[in-house]
Amino acid sequence: MRDADNGARTRVVDRIVDYLDSAGVRHVFGVHGANVEDLYDAIHRSPGRMRGVIAKHEFSAGAMADGYHRASDRLAVVATTSGGGSLNLVPALGEAYASGVPVLALIGQPPTSLEGRGGFQDQSGLGGSLDGPALFSTVSRFCERVDKPDAIADLLPRAVRAALREGGPAVLLLPKDVQQAAATAEPPDLDEDATEPEDFGERVWRVLEGARRGGPTLIVAGSGVVRANARAALARFARSLGAWVAVEPDAKDVFDNHHPSFVGVAGANGHPSVRHCLQRASTVILAGTRFPQVARAGLEDALFGRTIVCFDRAPAYVADELPALQVGGDLRASLSRATERLEGLPCARPATPPHDGLHYLPHERSQGSRIALREVVETIAAAVPAEATVVSDAGNTGCGVLHFLPAPARGRYLLALGMGGMGFSFGAGLGAAFATGERTYVLAGDGSFFMHGMEVHTAIEHDLPVTFVVFNNNSHAACKSREELFYDSGHTFNEFRSSDIGAGVSAMFPGLRATTVRGLEELRAFLAETGRTRAPCLVSVEMRRDEMPPYLPFVPAEPATERTSPK
Protein backbone atom coordinates (compact mmCIF):
# COMPACT_ATOMS: atom_id res chain seq x y z
CA MET A 1 0.00 0.00 0.00
CA ARG A 2 1.00 3.63 -0.36
CA ASP A 3 2.52 5.27 2.68
CA ALA A 4 -0.48 6.89 4.37
CA ASP A 5 1.63 9.63 5.98
CA ASN A 6 3.68 11.18 3.23
CA GLY A 7 3.14 9.15 0.05
CA ALA A 8 6.87 8.41 -0.12
CA ARG A 9 6.34 4.76 -1.05
CA THR A 10 4.96 4.59 -4.57
CA ARG A 11 4.05 1.21 -6.01
CA VAL A 12 4.68 0.18 -9.60
CA VAL A 13 0.93 0.37 -10.24
CA ASP A 14 0.88 3.93 -8.90
CA ARG A 15 3.65 4.88 -11.31
CA ILE A 16 1.67 3.37 -14.18
CA VAL A 17 -1.53 5.20 -13.29
CA ASP A 18 0.20 8.55 -12.74
CA TYR A 19 2.02 8.27 -16.07
CA LEU A 20 -1.10 7.35 -18.03
CA ASP A 21 -3.11 10.09 -16.34
CA SER A 22 -0.47 12.65 -17.33
CA ALA A 23 -0.63 11.30 -20.90
CA GLY A 24 -4.35 12.09 -21.04
CA VAL A 25 -5.79 8.62 -20.49
CA ARG A 26 -9.21 8.95 -18.85
CA HIS A 27 -10.59 5.40 -19.03
CA VAL A 28 -9.09 1.97 -18.44
CA PHE A 29 -11.29 -0.86 -19.69
CA GLY A 30 -11.06 -4.39 -18.36
CA VAL A 31 -12.25 -7.13 -16.05
CA HIS A 32 -11.13 -7.26 -12.43
CA GLY A 33 -9.22 -10.22 -10.99
CA ALA A 34 -6.75 -11.16 -8.27
CA ASN A 35 -3.64 -10.56 -10.37
CA VAL A 36 -4.72 -7.14 -11.63
CA GLU A 37 -6.58 -5.84 -8.55
CA ASP A 38 -3.63 -3.70 -7.43
CA LEU A 39 -3.80 -1.72 -10.65
CA TYR A 40 -7.49 -1.03 -10.13
CA ASP A 41 -6.74 -0.05 -6.53
CA ALA A 42 -4.22 2.46 -7.85
CA ILE A 43 -6.83 3.87 -10.24
CA HIS A 44 -9.25 4.28 -7.32
CA ARG A 45 -6.63 6.00 -5.14
CA SER A 46 -5.25 8.24 -7.87
CA PRO A 47 -5.93 11.98 -7.52
CA GLY A 48 -6.20 12.16 -11.32
CA ARG A 49 -9.24 11.88 -13.59
CA MET A 50 -8.78 8.27 -14.70
CA ARG A 51 -11.72 5.86 -14.34
CA GLY A 52 -11.83 2.08 -14.38
CA VAL A 53 -14.61 0.56 -16.49
CA ILE A 54 -15.43 -3.10 -15.80
CA ALA A 55 -16.79 -5.02 -18.79
CA LYS A 56 -18.64 -8.31 -18.79
CA HIS A 57 -15.98 -10.09 -20.86
CA GLU A 58 -12.34 -9.39 -21.67
CA PHE A 59 -12.93 -9.49 -25.44
CA SER A 60 -15.47 -6.70 -25.03
CA ALA A 61 -13.09 -4.78 -22.78
CA GLY A 62 -10.48 -4.92 -25.53
CA ALA A 63 -13.11 -3.88 -28.08
CA MET A 64 -14.05 -0.94 -25.81
CA ALA A 65 -10.44 0.21 -25.84
CA ASP A 66 -10.31 -0.25 -29.61
CA GLY A 67 -13.52 1.72 -30.20
CA TYR A 68 -12.39 4.38 -27.72
CA HIS A 69 -9.30 5.06 -29.82
CA ARG A 70 -11.05 4.88 -33.19
CA ALA A 71 -13.66 7.40 -32.06
CA SER A 72 -11.26 9.86 -30.42
CA ASP A 73 -7.69 9.17 -31.66
CA ARG A 74 -6.59 8.96 -28.00
CA LEU A 75 -4.42 6.26 -26.45
CA ALA A 76 -6.61 3.38 -25.27
CA VAL A 77 -5.84 1.11 -22.31
CA VAL A 78 -7.20 -2.31 -21.31
CA ALA A 79 -6.30 -4.14 -18.09
CA THR A 80 -7.09 -7.78 -17.39
CA THR A 81 -6.03 -10.51 -15.04
CA SER A 82 -4.04 -13.64 -15.85
CA GLY A 83 -5.12 -17.07 -17.08
CA GLY A 84 -8.44 -17.33 -18.90
CA GLY A 85 -9.04 -13.61 -18.49
CA SER A 86 -5.90 -12.75 -20.44
CA LEU A 87 -6.62 -15.40 -23.06
CA ASN A 88 -10.08 -13.93 -23.62
CA LEU A 89 -8.34 -10.69 -24.56
CA VAL A 90 -6.34 -12.24 -27.42
CA PRO A 91 -9.04 -11.88 -30.15
CA ALA A 92 -9.47 -8.19 -29.36
CA LEU A 93 -5.72 -7.62 -29.53
CA GLY A 94 -5.70 -9.52 -32.82
CA GLU A 95 -8.25 -7.10 -34.25
CA ALA A 96 -6.26 -4.08 -33.03
CA TYR A 97 -3.06 -5.60 -34.45
CA ALA A 98 -4.56 -6.23 -37.88
CA SER A 99 -6.29 -2.82 -38.00
CA GLY A 100 -3.35 -0.80 -36.65
CA VAL A 101 -5.16 0.45 -33.53
CA PRO A 102 -2.87 1.54 -30.66
CA VAL A 103 -4.02 -0.22 -27.48
CA LEU A 104 -1.93 -0.57 -24.33
CA ALA A 105 -2.72 -3.89 -22.62
CA LEU A 106 -1.75 -4.28 -18.96
CA ILE A 107 -2.01 -7.96 -18.07
CA GLY A 108 -1.63 -9.17 -14.51
CA GLN A 109 0.43 -12.28 -13.82
CA PRO A 110 0.87 -14.59 -10.79
CA PRO A 111 3.65 -13.69 -8.36
CA THR A 112 7.15 -14.52 -9.55
CA SER A 113 7.61 -16.91 -6.60
CA LEU A 114 5.07 -19.29 -8.20
CA GLU A 115 6.55 -19.36 -11.68
CA GLY A 116 7.47 -22.82 -12.89
CA ARG A 117 6.05 -24.42 -9.74
CA GLY A 118 2.61 -25.43 -10.96
CA GLY A 119 1.03 -22.18 -9.82
CA PHE A 120 -2.54 -21.30 -10.75
CA GLN A 121 -2.64 -19.43 -14.08
CA ASP A 122 1.15 -19.53 -14.48
CA GLN A 123 2.03 -17.98 -17.86
CA SER A 124 5.78 -17.68 -17.38
CA GLY A 125 6.70 -20.45 -19.82
CA LEU A 126 8.69 -22.16 -17.06
CA GLY A 127 8.20 -25.73 -15.88
CA GLY A 128 5.97 -26.58 -18.84
CA SER A 129 3.54 -23.68 -18.22
CA LEU A 130 1.92 -21.61 -20.96
CA ASP A 131 4.40 -19.12 -22.43
CA GLY A 132 2.62 -15.78 -22.04
CA PRO A 133 5.35 -13.59 -23.56
CA ALA A 134 5.50 -15.80 -26.66
CA LEU A 135 1.69 -15.83 -26.98
CA PHE A 136 1.13 -12.10 -26.62
CA SER A 137 4.12 -11.23 -28.82
CA THR A 138 2.17 -12.62 -31.76
CA VAL A 139 -0.69 -10.11 -31.31
CA SER A 140 1.32 -7.02 -30.36
CA ARG A 141 3.91 -4.61 -31.69
CA PHE A 142 5.66 -4.66 -28.32
CA CYS A 143 5.53 -7.21 -25.48
CA GLU A 144 7.62 -7.31 -22.32
CA ARG A 145 7.42 -8.76 -18.82
CA VAL A 146 8.14 -6.26 -16.06
CA ASP A 147 10.43 -8.42 -13.92
CA LYS A 148 11.84 -5.66 -11.69
CA PRO A 149 10.00 -2.70 -10.17
CA ASP A 150 12.19 0.06 -11.58
CA ALA A 151 12.02 -1.45 -15.07
CA ILE A 152 8.58 0.17 -15.40
CA ALA A 153 10.25 3.56 -15.91
CA ASP A 154 11.75 2.31 -19.17
CA LEU A 155 9.21 -0.24 -20.36
CA LEU A 156 6.02 1.80 -19.95
CA PRO A 157 7.07 4.70 -22.23
CA ARG A 158 8.51 2.23 -24.73
CA ALA A 159 5.23 0.33 -24.83
CA VAL A 160 3.17 3.49 -25.35
CA ARG A 161 5.57 4.75 -28.00
CA ALA A 162 5.43 1.44 -29.89
CA ALA A 163 1.63 1.38 -29.85
CA LEU A 164 1.32 4.94 -31.14
CA ARG A 165 4.14 4.92 -33.67
CA GLU A 166 3.82 1.42 -35.07
CA GLY A 167 0.03 1.21 -34.88
CA GLY A 168 -1.17 -1.75 -32.85
CA PRO A 169 -1.25 -3.22 -29.34
CA ALA A 170 1.58 -3.04 -26.83
CA VAL A 171 1.51 -5.52 -23.95
CA LEU A 172 3.07 -5.32 -20.50
CA LEU A 173 2.91 -8.49 -18.39
CA LEU A 174 2.86 -7.50 -14.71
CA PRO A 175 3.54 -10.10 -11.99
CA LYS A 176 1.51 -9.34 -8.88
CA ASP A 177 4.49 -8.94 -6.55
CA VAL A 178 6.13 -6.54 -9.00
CA GLN A 179 2.93 -4.49 -9.18
CA GLN A 180 2.94 -4.15 -5.38
CA ALA A 181 6.62 -3.32 -5.07
CA ALA A 182 7.98 0.19 -4.53
CA ALA A 183 9.36 1.89 -7.63
CA THR A 184 11.80 4.76 -7.23
CA ALA A 185 12.34 5.60 -10.90
CA GLU A 186 9.70 7.67 -12.71
CA PRO A 187 8.88 7.20 -16.42
CA PRO A 188 9.97 10.19 -18.55
CA ASP A 189 7.43 12.27 -20.43
CA LEU A 190 6.35 10.89 -23.81
CA ASP A 191 8.15 12.64 -26.66
CA GLU A 192 6.28 13.83 -29.71
CA ASP A 193 6.72 12.35 -33.18
CA ALA A 194 8.17 14.49 -35.96
CA THR A 195 5.80 15.10 -38.87
CA GLU A 196 8.22 15.51 -41.76
CA PRO A 197 6.89 14.38 -45.15
CA GLU A 198 8.73 11.83 -47.26
CA ASP A 199 11.07 12.86 -50.05
CA PHE A 200 8.78 12.10 -52.98
CA GLY A 201 11.24 11.57 -55.78
CA GLU A 202 10.88 12.88 -59.30
CA ARG A 203 8.83 9.94 -60.61
CA VAL A 204 6.11 10.57 -58.04
CA TRP A 205 6.06 14.29 -58.82
CA ARG A 206 5.75 13.58 -62.55
CA VAL A 207 2.80 11.24 -61.92
CA LEU A 208 1.02 13.73 -59.62
CA GLU A 209 1.62 16.65 -61.97
CA GLY A 210 0.34 14.55 -64.89
CA ALA A 211 -2.76 13.67 -62.89
CA ARG A 212 -3.34 17.36 -62.18
CA ARG A 213 -3.06 18.25 -65.87
CA GLY A 214 -4.60 15.19 -67.48
CA GLY A 215 -6.32 12.67 -65.20
CA PRO A 216 -8.81 11.37 -64.44
CA THR A 217 -7.68 10.15 -61.03
CA LEU A 218 -9.20 7.83 -58.43
CA ILE A 219 -8.14 8.11 -54.78
CA VAL A 220 -8.79 5.14 -52.50
CA ALA A 221 -8.58 6.33 -48.89
CA GLY A 222 -8.06 4.09 -45.87
CA SER A 223 -8.02 4.15 -42.10
CA GLY A 224 -4.51 5.59 -42.04
CA VAL A 225 -6.17 8.93 -42.84
CA VAL A 226 -7.88 8.78 -39.43
CA ARG A 227 -4.72 7.76 -37.58
CA ALA A 228 -2.83 10.65 -39.15
CA ASN A 229 -5.64 13.15 -38.49
CA ALA A 230 -5.52 13.85 -42.22
CA ARG A 231 -9.18 14.18 -43.27
CA ALA A 232 -8.87 17.87 -44.13
CA ALA A 233 -5.56 17.24 -45.91
CA LEU A 234 -7.15 14.44 -47.94
CA ALA A 235 -10.10 16.62 -48.98
CA ARG A 236 -7.79 19.42 -50.15
CA PHE A 237 -5.51 16.96 -51.95
CA ALA A 238 -8.47 15.42 -53.79
CA ARG A 239 -9.68 18.87 -54.77
CA SER A 240 -6.22 19.79 -56.13
CA LEU A 241 -6.35 16.75 -58.43
CA GLY A 242 -10.02 16.97 -59.32
CA ALA A 243 -10.12 13.32 -58.25
CA TRP A 244 -12.86 10.87 -57.44
CA VAL A 245 -12.61 9.45 -53.93
CA ALA A 246 -13.48 5.93 -52.84
CA VAL A 247 -13.02 4.64 -49.30
CA GLU A 248 -12.11 1.32 -47.76
CA PRO A 249 -14.82 -0.54 -45.81
CA ASP A 250 -13.33 0.33 -42.42
CA ALA A 251 -12.69 3.95 -43.41
CA LYS A 252 -16.06 5.14 -44.65
CA ASP A 253 -15.90 8.35 -42.61
CA VAL A 254 -12.58 9.67 -43.92
CA PHE A 255 -14.31 11.58 -46.75
CA ASP A 256 -17.67 13.33 -46.97
CA ASN A 257 -20.12 10.68 -48.20
CA HIS A 258 -22.35 13.36 -49.75
CA HIS A 259 -19.58 15.15 -51.66
CA PRO A 260 -19.97 15.13 -55.48
CA SER A 261 -16.56 13.44 -55.79
CA PHE A 262 -17.46 10.54 -53.48
CA VAL A 263 -17.95 7.34 -55.51
CA GLY A 264 -18.53 4.83 -52.71
CA VAL A 265 -16.91 1.98 -50.83
CA ALA A 266 -14.29 -0.20 -52.51
CA GLY A 267 -14.24 -3.97 -52.25
CA ALA A 268 -16.48 -7.03 -52.02
CA ASN A 269 -19.14 -5.20 -50.04
CA GLY A 270 -18.68 -1.95 -51.92
CA HIS A 271 -20.35 0.00 -54.68
CA PRO A 272 -19.99 -0.87 -58.38
CA SER A 273 -19.55 2.86 -59.05
CA VAL A 274 -16.00 2.51 -57.69
CA ARG A 275 -15.13 0.02 -60.40
CA HIS A 276 -16.76 2.19 -63.07
CA CYS A 277 -14.57 5.14 -62.06
CA LEU A 278 -11.47 2.95 -61.77
CA GLN A 279 -11.96 1.79 -65.35
CA ARG A 280 -11.97 5.43 -66.49
CA ALA A 281 -9.02 6.52 -64.35
CA SER A 282 -5.42 6.71 -65.55
CA THR A 283 -3.94 7.19 -62.06
CA VAL A 284 -4.84 5.48 -58.79
CA ILE A 285 -3.67 6.99 -55.51
CA LEU A 286 -3.83 4.99 -52.29
CA ALA A 287 -3.99 7.32 -49.27
CA GLY A 288 -3.46 5.80 -45.82
CA THR A 289 -3.97 2.24 -47.03
CA ARG A 290 -2.04 -0.72 -48.35
CA PHE A 291 -5.17 -1.76 -50.31
CA PRO A 292 -5.93 -5.05 -48.54
CA GLN A 293 -8.09 -7.81 -49.95
CA VAL A 294 -11.37 -6.55 -48.43
CA ALA A 295 -10.94 -3.30 -50.38
CA ARG A 296 -9.31 -4.77 -53.48
CA ALA A 297 -11.81 -7.56 -54.18
CA GLY A 298 -13.55 -7.17 -57.52
CA LEU A 299 -11.11 -4.47 -58.65
CA GLU A 300 -7.83 -6.32 -59.26
CA ASP A 301 -8.19 -6.76 -63.02
CA ALA A 302 -9.18 -3.11 -63.51
CA LEU A 303 -5.91 -1.96 -61.89
CA PHE A 304 -3.82 -3.12 -64.86
CA GLY A 305 -2.68 -0.23 -67.05
CA ARG A 306 -3.07 2.32 -64.24
CA THR A 307 -0.23 4.15 -62.53
CA ILE A 308 -0.42 3.54 -58.78
CA VAL A 309 0.97 5.79 -56.05
CA CYS A 310 0.77 4.64 -52.43
CA PHE A 311 0.85 7.21 -49.62
CA ASP A 312 1.54 4.89 -46.68
CA ARG A 313 4.43 3.82 -44.47
CA ALA A 314 4.27 0.25 -45.85
CA PRO A 315 4.05 -0.96 -49.48
CA ALA A 316 0.71 -1.68 -51.10
CA TYR A 317 -0.77 -5.17 -51.44
CA VAL A 318 -0.86 -5.20 -55.22
CA ALA A 319 0.41 -7.79 -57.66
CA ASP A 320 4.13 -7.85 -58.47
CA GLU A 321 3.33 -6.86 -62.05
CA LEU A 322 1.59 -3.72 -60.69
CA PRO A 323 4.39 -1.92 -58.86
CA ALA A 324 3.25 1.08 -56.84
CA LEU A 325 5.30 4.19 -56.31
CA GLN A 326 5.78 4.64 -52.57
CA VAL A 327 5.45 7.80 -50.48
CA GLY A 328 6.15 7.01 -46.85
CA GLY A 329 6.56 9.35 -43.91
CA ASP A 330 3.83 11.27 -42.15
CA LEU A 331 0.64 11.06 -44.23
CA ARG A 332 -0.86 14.43 -43.35
CA ALA A 333 2.41 16.25 -43.98
CA SER A 334 2.99 14.41 -47.26
CA LEU A 335 -0.52 15.10 -48.58
CA SER A 336 -0.21 18.77 -47.60
CA ARG A 337 3.15 19.11 -49.29
CA ALA A 338 1.83 17.53 -52.48
CA THR A 339 -1.24 19.78 -52.47
CA GLU A 340 0.79 22.97 -52.08
CA ARG A 341 2.87 22.09 -55.11
CA LEU A 342 -0.06 20.94 -57.23
CA GLU A 343 -2.17 24.01 -56.54
CA GLY A 344 0.48 26.12 -58.25
CA LEU A 345 0.01 24.20 -61.51
CA PRO A 346 -2.68 24.69 -64.18
CA CYS A 347 -5.56 22.21 -64.12
CA ALA A 348 -7.28 21.34 -67.40
CA ARG A 349 -10.29 19.68 -65.75
CA PRO A 350 -13.10 20.70 -63.40
CA ALA A 351 -12.29 20.55 -59.70
CA THR A 352 -14.84 17.76 -59.14
CA PRO A 353 -15.18 15.37 -62.09
CA PRO A 354 -18.80 14.34 -62.60
CA HIS A 355 -20.05 10.82 -62.06
CA ASP A 356 -23.55 9.43 -62.24
CA GLY A 357 -24.16 8.66 -58.57
CA LEU A 358 -23.54 5.65 -56.39
CA HIS A 359 -24.28 2.29 -57.95
CA TYR A 360 -25.61 -0.38 -55.59
CA LEU A 361 -25.30 -4.12 -55.69
CA PRO A 362 -28.61 -5.97 -56.27
CA HIS A 363 -30.88 -5.97 -53.24
CA GLU A 364 -34.53 -6.39 -52.25
CA ARG A 365 -37.12 -3.76 -51.51
CA SER A 366 -39.72 -4.01 -48.76
CA GLN A 367 -43.05 -5.47 -49.84
CA GLY A 368 -45.94 -5.45 -47.39
CA SER A 369 -44.84 -7.17 -44.20
CA ARG A 370 -41.57 -8.29 -45.79
CA ILE A 371 -39.29 -5.47 -44.66
CA ALA A 372 -35.97 -5.43 -46.47
CA LEU A 373 -32.47 -4.73 -45.19
CA ARG A 374 -32.01 -1.56 -47.24
CA GLU A 375 -35.14 0.15 -45.88
CA VAL A 376 -34.29 -0.80 -42.30
CA VAL A 377 -30.80 0.68 -42.68
CA GLU A 378 -32.11 3.83 -44.37
CA THR A 379 -34.65 4.28 -41.56
CA ILE A 380 -31.79 4.14 -39.07
CA ALA A 381 -29.65 6.47 -41.19
CA ALA A 382 -32.39 9.11 -41.15
CA ALA A 383 -32.34 9.07 -37.34
CA VAL A 384 -28.56 9.24 -36.85
CA PRO A 385 -27.36 12.73 -35.79
CA ALA A 386 -24.44 14.30 -37.62
CA GLU A 387 -22.19 14.04 -34.53
CA ALA A 388 -23.01 10.40 -33.75
CA THR A 389 -20.82 7.33 -33.98
CA VAL A 390 -22.06 4.26 -35.87
CA VAL A 391 -20.52 0.87 -35.08
CA SER A 392 -21.41 -2.32 -36.92
CA ASP A 393 -20.23 -5.90 -36.97
CA ALA A 394 -19.27 -7.84 -40.05
CA GLY A 395 -21.69 -10.38 -41.56
CA ASN A 396 -25.02 -9.74 -43.26
CA THR A 397 -25.84 -6.82 -40.97
CA GLY A 398 -22.49 -5.18 -41.61
CA CYS A 399 -22.92 -5.64 -45.37
CA GLY A 400 -26.23 -3.79 -45.35
CA VAL A 401 -25.05 -1.03 -43.03
CA LEU A 402 -21.84 -0.44 -44.96
CA HIS A 403 -23.62 -0.39 -48.31
CA PHE A 404 -26.61 1.81 -47.46
CA LEU A 405 -25.79 3.99 -44.43
CA PRO A 406 -23.70 7.13 -45.07
CA ALA A 407 -21.11 7.99 -42.45
CA PRO A 408 -22.31 10.72 -40.04
CA ALA A 409 -21.15 14.09 -41.33
CA ARG A 410 -19.28 15.09 -38.16
CA GLY A 411 -19.17 11.73 -36.40
CA ARG A 412 -17.47 8.38 -36.83
CA TYR A 413 -18.22 5.11 -38.58
CA LEU A 414 -16.44 2.10 -37.05
CA LEU A 415 -16.18 -1.37 -38.53
CA ALA A 416 -13.75 -4.10 -37.45
CA LEU A 417 -12.39 -5.87 -40.51
CA GLY A 418 -8.94 -6.80 -39.26
CA MET A 419 -10.23 -10.03 -37.75
CA GLY A 420 -13.96 -9.38 -38.02
CA GLY A 421 -14.85 -10.91 -34.65
CA MET A 422 -18.60 -11.22 -34.03
CA GLY A 423 -19.84 -9.07 -31.17
CA PHE A 424 -17.05 -6.49 -31.52
CA SER A 425 -19.58 -3.70 -32.01
CA PHE A 426 -21.02 -4.00 -28.49
CA GLY A 427 -17.75 -3.25 -26.75
CA ALA A 428 -16.51 -0.82 -29.39
CA GLY A 429 -19.75 1.14 -29.26
CA LEU A 430 -19.43 1.62 -25.52
CA GLY A 431 -15.81 2.68 -25.90
CA ALA A 432 -16.85 5.25 -28.52
CA ALA A 433 -19.58 6.60 -26.25
CA PHE A 434 -17.11 6.99 -23.38
CA ALA A 435 -14.71 8.79 -25.72
CA THR A 436 -17.11 11.23 -27.36
CA GLY A 437 -20.11 11.58 -25.06
CA GLU A 438 -22.27 11.58 -28.21
CA ARG A 439 -25.00 9.08 -29.02
CA THR A 440 -23.59 5.90 -30.47
CA TYR A 441 -25.50 3.41 -32.64
CA VAL A 442 -24.49 -0.24 -32.31
CA LEU A 443 -25.84 -2.20 -35.28
CA ALA A 444 -25.44 -5.96 -34.91
CA GLY A 445 -27.07 -9.26 -35.73
CA ASP A 446 -28.63 -11.63 -33.25
CA GLY A 447 -25.60 -13.93 -33.46
CA SER A 448 -23.35 -11.11 -32.30
CA PHE A 449 -25.84 -10.21 -29.56
CA PHE A 450 -25.78 -13.72 -28.16
CA MET A 451 -21.98 -13.61 -28.06
CA HIS A 452 -21.37 -10.25 -26.38
CA GLY A 453 -24.71 -8.47 -26.04
CA MET A 454 -24.60 -8.44 -22.25
CA GLU A 455 -22.42 -5.35 -22.52
CA VAL A 456 -25.85 -3.69 -22.64
CA HIS A 457 -25.61 -4.02 -18.85
CA THR A 458 -22.35 -2.04 -18.87
CA ALA A 459 -24.08 0.73 -20.83
CA ILE A 460 -26.86 0.77 -18.23
CA GLU A 461 -24.40 0.93 -15.33
CA HIS A 462 -22.67 3.96 -16.84
CA ASP A 463 -25.84 5.50 -18.32
CA LEU A 464 -24.27 5.78 -21.76
CA PRO A 465 -26.15 7.27 -24.74
CA VAL A 466 -26.04 4.07 -26.82
CA THR A 467 -28.78 2.82 -29.14
CA PHE A 468 -28.45 -0.92 -29.71
CA VAL A 469 -30.20 -2.12 -32.87
CA VAL A 470 -30.29 -5.92 -33.19
CA PHE A 471 -31.10 -7.28 -36.64
CA ASN A 472 -32.80 -10.50 -35.58
CA ASN A 473 -33.23 -13.17 -38.24
CA ASN A 474 -32.83 -16.07 -35.79
CA SER A 475 -29.77 -17.36 -37.59
CA HIS A 476 -26.13 -16.87 -38.41
CA ALA A 477 -27.39 -15.48 -41.70
CA ALA A 478 -24.04 -14.93 -43.46
CA CYS A 479 -23.09 -18.56 -42.85
CA LYS A 480 -26.55 -19.69 -43.89
CA SER A 481 -26.27 -17.70 -47.11
CA ARG A 482 -22.97 -19.40 -47.92
CA GLU A 483 -24.46 -22.82 -47.24
CA GLU A 484 -27.27 -22.12 -49.69
CA LEU A 485 -25.06 -20.68 -52.43
CA PHE A 486 -21.96 -22.85 -52.30
CA TYR A 487 -23.13 -26.24 -50.99
CA ASP A 488 -25.81 -28.56 -52.32
CA SER A 489 -26.69 -30.32 -49.09
CA GLY A 490 -30.15 -28.88 -48.43
CA HIS A 491 -29.12 -28.65 -44.78
CA THR A 492 -28.15 -25.73 -42.56
CA PHE A 493 -26.33 -25.58 -39.27
CA ASN A 494 -27.18 -21.91 -38.90
CA GLU A 495 -30.91 -21.55 -38.24
CA PHE A 496 -32.05 -21.15 -34.63
CA ARG A 497 -35.30 -21.33 -32.71
CA SER A 498 -37.01 -17.96 -32.63
CA SER A 499 -36.25 -15.58 -29.76
CA ASP A 500 -37.76 -12.24 -28.78
CA ILE A 501 -34.61 -10.33 -27.88
CA GLY A 502 -36.36 -7.00 -27.26
CA ALA A 503 -38.82 -8.47 -24.77
CA GLY A 504 -36.11 -10.52 -23.11
CA VAL A 505 -33.81 -7.53 -22.58
CA SER A 506 -36.73 -5.43 -21.33
CA ALA A 507 -37.58 -8.09 -18.73
CA MET A 508 -33.95 -8.52 -17.70
CA PHE A 509 -33.25 -4.80 -17.23
CA PRO A 510 -36.31 -2.98 -15.82
CA GLY A 511 -36.15 0.70 -16.67
CA LEU A 512 -34.25 0.17 -19.93
CA ARG A 513 -36.26 1.21 -22.99
CA ALA A 514 -36.20 -2.02 -25.00
CA THR A 515 -38.65 -3.49 -27.49
CA THR A 516 -39.10 -5.64 -30.57
CA VAL A 517 -40.44 -4.12 -33.81
CA ARG A 518 -41.68 -5.73 -37.01
CA GLY A 519 -42.21 -2.72 -39.27
CA LEU A 520 -40.47 0.42 -40.45
CA GLU A 521 -42.92 2.82 -38.80
CA GLU A 522 -42.43 1.15 -35.42
CA LEU A 523 -38.68 1.41 -35.83
CA ARG A 524 -38.87 5.05 -36.93
CA ALA A 525 -40.99 5.97 -33.90
CA PHE A 526 -38.70 4.17 -31.47
CA LEU A 527 -35.56 5.87 -32.82
CA ALA A 528 -37.21 9.29 -32.75
CA GLU A 529 -38.40 8.87 -29.16
CA THR A 530 -35.19 7.45 -27.70
CA GLY A 531 -32.92 9.75 -29.71
CA ARG A 532 -34.14 12.70 -27.66
CA THR A 533 -32.80 11.16 -24.44
CA ARG A 534 -29.33 10.52 -23.03
CA ALA A 535 -30.17 7.01 -21.84
CA PRO A 536 -29.24 3.66 -23.41
CA CYS A 537 -31.92 1.76 -25.30
CA LEU A 538 -32.33 -1.38 -27.41
CA VAL A 539 -34.57 -2.32 -30.30
CA SER A 540 -34.70 -5.73 -31.94
CA VAL A 541 -35.88 -5.63 -35.55
CA GLU A 542 -37.46 -8.82 -36.85
CA MET A 543 -35.72 -9.55 -40.15
CA ARG A 544 -36.01 -12.31 -42.75
CA ARG A 545 -33.37 -14.98 -42.89
CA ASP A 546 -33.82 -15.60 -46.63
CA GLU A 547 -32.61 -12.18 -47.85
CA MET A 548 -29.19 -12.06 -49.50
CA PRO A 549 -27.05 -9.10 -48.41
CA PRO A 550 -25.30 -6.75 -50.86
CA TYR A 551 -22.05 -8.73 -51.13
CA LEU A 552 -20.15 -9.24 -54.39
CA PRO A 553 -19.39 -12.99 -53.97
CA PHE A 554 -23.16 -13.59 -53.60
CA VAL A 555 -24.02 -11.69 -56.79
CA PRO A 556 -24.36 -13.30 -60.26
CA ALA A 557 -21.91 -12.14 -62.89
CA GLU A 558 -22.51 -8.70 -64.42
CA PRO A 559 -25.30 -7.63 -62.06
CA ALA A 560 -27.70 -4.88 -62.88
CA THR A 561 -27.20 -2.07 -60.40
CA GLU A 562 -29.35 0.71 -59.08
CA ARG A 563 -28.09 4.28 -59.07
CA THR A 564 -28.65 7.32 -56.93
CA SER A 565 -27.61 10.79 -57.90
CA PRO A 566 -24.88 12.39 -55.80
CA LYS A 567 -26.34 14.68 -53.15
Q: How high is the pLDDT of residue 368? A: 78
According to DSSP, the β-strands at 142-145 and 76-80 are unpaired
Mean pLDDT of 165-194: 87
- pLDDT, tens digit (0-9, with 9 covering 90-100), for 478-500: 788 888 888 877 788 888 899 99
**DSSP string of 249-284?**
GGGGGGS-TTSTTEEEE-STTS-HHHHHHHHH-SEE
Closest alpha carbon to 49 in 8, 7, 18: 18
Quick one: pLDDT at residue 419?
A: 84
Q: Is the pLDDT of residue 235 over 50?
A: yes
Query: 557 falls in which pLDDT band (50, 70, 90)?
Result: low
For residue 497, what are the contacts with CB-CB under 8 A and spacing of at least 6? Answer: 474
Q: For residue range 116-163, what is the model confidence (pLDDT) as tens digits?
A: 788 888 888 788 889 999 999 999 999 999 999 999 999 999 999 999
The rounded distance, in Å, linking the Cα atoms of 190 and 4 is 29
At 490 the pLDDT is 79
Within 8 A by CB and 6+ apart from 267, the residues are 248, 249, 294, 295, 296, 297, 298, 299, 552
Phi, psi of 221, deg, nearest 5: -105, 140
**Nearest-angstrom CA–CA distance, 329 and 331:** 6
Do residues 137 and 165 lie in contact, with contact meaning Cβ atoms separated by under 8 Å?
A: no
The separation between the first and the last C-alpha atoms of the chain, rounded to the nearest angstrom, is: 61
SS3 90: helix
Confidence of residue 8 (pLDDT cuts 50, 70, 90): very low
**Three-state SS at 88:** helix
Nearest of 497, 507, 496, 400 to residue 443 by alpha carbon:
400
Report the predicted TM-score, pTM, of the whole model to 2 decimal places: 0.91
pLDDT at residue 338 greater than cutoff 80: yes
Task: Please write the tens of the pLDDT for every residue from 52-77.
Answer: 999 999 999 999 999 999 999 899 99
